[in-house]
Amino acid sequence: MKKKLLAIGLLVLSVLIFMMGTRQEPVDFTSQVKPILNGHCISCHGGVRQKGGFSLLFRDEALAKVKSGKYAIIPGDPDHSEMIRRISL
C-alpha cells in the first residue's frame, strides 16, 4: 500500500513539474512586438505614410479596415487577420 501511494505521489509530482516547465509567459507588446514593428513596418505603415491604407502608428488605425475592406489585425483571431496571413507567406 505504501509503495502504491509513493508511486502515485511521484507521478503527480512529475506531472506538476512538467506542467510548470512548459508554461509559456504571455507576449509583451512593448518589449517583444513593438521593436519588430518599429524596425520593419513603421517606415511604410505609420504616420504620414500609410502604404495600402494601413497604419500601425495607433491601435485604432491598426484595427481598422484597410483599402481591401478586410481587417488587417483581428485581436485574438490570427487565422482571420490579413496582416498575419501576409507576413506568413
Q: Does residue 82 belong to any structural domain of this protein?
A: yes
Instruction: Pick 27 or 76 by higher pLDDT.
Output: 76
Torsion of the alpha carbons at 15, 19, 21 and 23, rounded to the nearest 10: 180
| CA 24 from centre of chain | 12
Q: How many domains does the chain have?
A: 1
| Domain residue limits at 30 | 25-87
Q: Does residue 8 belong to any structural domain of this protein?
A: no
Q: Does residue 37 belong to any structural domain of this protein?
A: yes
Lowest mean pLDDT among 8-17, 39-48, 50-59: 8-17
Instruction: Pick 72 or 9 by higher pLDDT.
Output: 72
Query: Looking at residue 7, what is its pLDDT?
Result: 63
Q: Does residue 4 belong to any structural domain of this protein?
A: no
Q: Does residue 12 belong to any structural domain of this protein?
A: no
Q: Does residue 10 belong to any structural domain of this protein?
A: no
User: Which has the closest alpha carbon to 83: 40, 49, 47?
Assistant: 40
pTM of the complete model: 0.59
